[in-house]
Amino acid sequence: MVKFGFHVSISDSIDMAVDRARELGCDAFQIFTRNPRSWATREFGEGEPEAFRAKRAEAGIDSVYGHMPYILNLASPERGVYDRSVASLGTGLARCEALGIPMLVTHVGSHLGKGSELGVGRVVDALDAALGADDSGVVVLLETGPGSRNGVGSTFEEVGLILEGVAVGDRVGVCLDTCHVFAAGYELRTAEGLGATVDAFDGAVGLGRLGLVHLNDSVGGLGSGRDHHEHLGLGEIGLGGLGLVVNSRLGCVPMIMETPVDERRGNPGNMVVARGLAGSV
C-alpha cells in the first residue's frame, strides 16, 4: 500500500502537526522544524519534543520527515551564506534527532553562475561538514531541482555526483519531487516516458537511495524550469501521469503532497484524489 501524506503546519506547537496529520488521514507527514524563511531558530518549548514523540507514537505514523528552510544554499560560492547554510543544516539535524524524525529534506541550492562543477563540490563539502559534526544518524534527503537557472541537483547525474562524493554515503539519500523533475525535463505522462525517467534515476542515483517522493502536479510544462506546484490532476502532468507515478517503482516510498490550498481544492480533496490513483493503472 502506498503511504500518502502532506506537509503540515507546526504553528502554536510542533506537536500540533501530529494532530493535523491525523485529521487529514495521513499515513506519513512532513514538517518544517522551525521558521522556513529565517536563519533564526526558536528553541523548543518545555516538553515540546516529548509531546511530539508521544502523539506520533499514539497515532502510529512511522513515516515522518523534516524539511529545511528555503533560504539554505549549500551550493553557494558566497562564504557568508554558505557558512550559515552549513550551520543551519547542523541545527536541522539536531532538531530532527530531538523529535525522533529519521530523515531531513533539503533543497540543494544555486551555484550563482559559477558553474555546475563548483556547485556540486560545494554541496559535497557542506554535507561532509554538517554530517561530520553530527552523530544523530538522521539521513539528509536531497530534493531534486526544477531546472531553474544556476540550480544544482536538477539532473539525476548531478545528484549522483553529489552522492558519490559524500564521505558518509549512507546518511544521504534523495527526495524526488514530481513537479520539479517534470519542470526539469523528465517525462512522467506516459508509461514509456516514466519508465525511461525511472531507469535514468536508477542508473545515476539508484532507487535504493530514494527516501521520499513529493507528489505534486505542475503549473509549468515539461522542461519549463518553473517551480510552481498544482493540485493533483489540475496541472500539466495530469491524473494519467500521476497515476503512473503512484503505481510505479517510485511507490515503494511514502508520497508527500505539497499542493495548494485554495478555493478550488484543499488538502482533503487532494487526499481523495491521491488514494484514487493507487491501483488505477
Quick: pLDDT tens for 59-117. 999 999 999 999 999 999 999 999 999 999 999 999 999 999 999 999 999 999 999 99
30 close to 64: Cβ distance less than 8 angstroms: yes
Residue appearing with cell numbers 558566497: 78
Residue appearing with cell numbers 506520533: 56
CATH number of 34's domain:
3.20.20.150
Helix (H, G, I), strand (E, B) or coil at 150: coil
Helix (H, G, I), strand (E, B) or coil at 104: strand
Quick: pLDDT tens for 124-175. 999 999 999 999 999 999 999 999 999 999 999 999 999 999 999 999 999 9
Residue appearing with cell numbers 493503472: 281
Residue 245 CA to residue 104 CA, distance in Å, equals: 23
Quick: pLDDT tens for 240-250. 999 999 999 99
133 close to 90: Cβ distance less than 8 angstroms: yes
User: Using CA atoms in the order 2, 262, 240, 245, what is the torsion angle rounded to 10 degrees?
Assistant: -30
Distances (CA, A) of 233 to 127, 146, 215, 252: 36, 19, 11, 21
Residue 36 CA to residue 15 CA, distance in Å, equals: 17
Lowest mean pLDDT among 40-49, 115-124, 171-180, 248-257: 40-49
Q: Which three cell numbers stand for residue 188?
A: 512522467
Helix (H, G, I), strand (E, B) or coil at 43: coil
Domain count of the fold of the chain: 1
DSSP state of 27: S
- Per-residue pLDDT at 221: 98
β partners of residue 256: 5, 214
The whole-chain average pLDDT of the chain stands at 97
66 close to 86: Cβ distance less than 8 angstroms: no
pLDDT at 280 over 90: no
Residue 251 CA to residue 249 CA, distance in Å, equals: 5
Nearest to residue 274, comparing CAs of 59, 26, 66? 26
Domain assignment of residue 14, given as a range: 4-277
Chain Cα centroid distance, residue 207:
15
Nearest to residue 121, comparing CAs of 113, 132, 111? 111
